[in-house]
Amino acid sequence: MPAFATADEVTEAARSALPTELWDYVSGGGGTEITLRRNRSALDSVCFRPRVARDVSDTRADTTVLGIECSAPVLLAPIGTIGLFDAGGAATCARAAARAGTAAFVSILSTPSLEEVAATGAPLIYQHYTRGSRAWTLDLFRRAEASGYRAICVTVDSPVDGLRERELRHRFDRGKAQAQPNLGRDARRELQAELTWSEIAWLAEQTELPLLLKGVTHPEDAVLALEAGVAALIVSNHGGRQLDAQLGAVEVLPGVVEAVGGRAEVLVDGGFERGGDVVKALALGARAVLIGRAMCLSLAAGGEDTLVETLARLQEEVSRTLALLGVSTPGAVSREYLVGG
Ligand SMILES: Cc1cc2nc3c(=O)[nH]c(=O)nc-3n(C[C@H](O)[C@H](O)[C@H](O)COP(=O)(O)O)c2cc1C
C-alpha cells in the first residue's frame, strides 16, 4: 500500500512538514494569484461526456513525448529551487521519474549539476533560461548534449521575475535560498529581458536536440515558434507565478493546438493534480502534462518514494478515467468527450 492514498493526503503532509514561508513560496503565485486560481478553476469547469459499452478491458496510459517513452502522459516540471524540498534536488526527481517510467525536466537553476543529475540515467530534458552571453548559453547546451539530455527547453514566460506578494511578505530571497551550480561565473543575476524570436531561431540552430519552448499561451506565438524551428511547445503560465490575471492554461490550450495543427507536440502545465485533470488536457489536444507543485509537495511529504507513488497514482488514475470515458489509449480521447473547455 502506498503511504498516501490521495493527492490531498500528500498536500496535507507537505503542509505540516514545510515551514510557513516555504509553503507560501511553493503554493503561491504572482500578484493577487488570479492566474494561479484560474488554472485550477478552468480545469474544474471542463466536464466529461462519456461513452458506454465499449471494450475498455485493455486500457493503457503510456505514450511518447518527443520519442521518449513515458508510462503515463505526465512528466516532471523544471523547478529551480527543488533542492529546498529534498536534499537530493533534481537528482531525486530524476531517479523517481526513472522508477516511474517517465521523463523529468531539469532546471538550469536547480541542484546538483546537470552532469550529476544525468548520472541517474533517467530520460531528461534540460531547461534553460537565457541570462548570459551566447557563448555561455552554448556552453550549457554542449554540457546537456554531452551528458545525454534528450531535448532542450527554453522558458520564455519570464523576461523579468513575477511579483509574488507572498514571497515579499516573508522577505523570501529565492536567489539566496539555494546554490545554483549550473550558472557559473559568467551568468547574469537577472533574467534576459531582451530575448526575441530571432534569438530563439538562433538557439534552435545551435543544437541537434529538439528545442522546446515553455510558456507559450498565444496562438500567434505558437506559429512564430514553429517558424523559429521549435520542435514542441509547453502551454504554461508558469503555474500562475509570473503574469497575473491570465486565463487558465487549459483555456488557452485549444487555441495553441489549433495554430500548431499537428506540426509539433503540445504539452501543458498548471494546476494538474489528478488523472482526470490529465485526461482533460489530452482531450483538448495536449500530448502530455507537467506537474510542478505536485512534485515539490510529494518530495516534502515523503521524498523520492512518495514522488514515485504520486506518479504511479496519476498513471492509474489516467487509465481509470480513460476506461470510464469509454476509450482505451491516451491518443483516442478528443474534444468529443468533453463539455466546456
Ligand atoms: C517552486 C517553483 C519553482 C519553479 N522553477 C522553475 C524553473 O526554474 N524553470 C521553469 O521553467 N519553471 C519553473 N517553475 C514552473 C514549473 O516548471 C511549472 O510550469 C509549474 O509549476 C506548473 O504548475 P503547477 O505547479 O501548478 O503544476 C517553477 C514552479 C515552482 C512552483
237 lines ligand 1 (CB under 6 A): no
The pLDDT of residue 341 is 60
Q: Does any ligand 1 atom lie closer than 6 A to the CB of residue 28? A: no
Q: Is 40 in the pocket of ligand 1 (CB under 6 A)?
A: no
Instruction: Judge contact between 74 and 311, C-beta under 8 A.
Output: yes
From 79, 154, 172, 296, mutation site for ligand 1 pocket: most ligand atoms within 8 A of C-beta: 79
**Which among 244, 188, 181, 241 has a CA at the least distance from the CA of 214?**
241
Contact 237, 259 (CB under 8 A): no
Residues (pLDDT < 50) of the chain are none
**What are the pLDDT digits (tens) for 26-76?**
999 999 999 999 999 999 999 999 999 999 999 999 999 999 999 999 999
The pLDDT assigned to 314 comes to: 98
Parallel/antiparallel/unpaired status of strands 68-70 and 63-65: antiparallel
Q: Integer distance in angstroms from the first to the last C-alpha of the chain?
A: 35
Q: Phi/psi at 91 (nearest 5 deg)?
A: -70, -35
CB-ligand 1 contact for 13 (6 Å cutoff): no
Neighbouring CB atoms inside 10 A of 72's CB total 26
Residue minimizing CA distance to atom 19 of ligand 1: 238
Distance from CA of residue 253 to its chain's centroid?
14
The pLDDT value recorded for residue 299 is: 98
Residue 170 appears among annotated catalytic residues: no
Nearest CA to ligand 1 atom 30: 79
Q: Which domains does the chain have, with CATH numbers?
A: 7-333 (3.20.20.70)
| 51-58 contacts, C-beta under 8 A, 24 or more apart | 51/325, 51/326, 51/327, 51/337, 52/326, 53/326, 54/326, 54/327, 54/328, 55/328, 56/322, 56/323, 56/326, 56/327, 56/328, 58/328
SS3 235: strand
Number of H helices, E strands in the chain: 13, 12
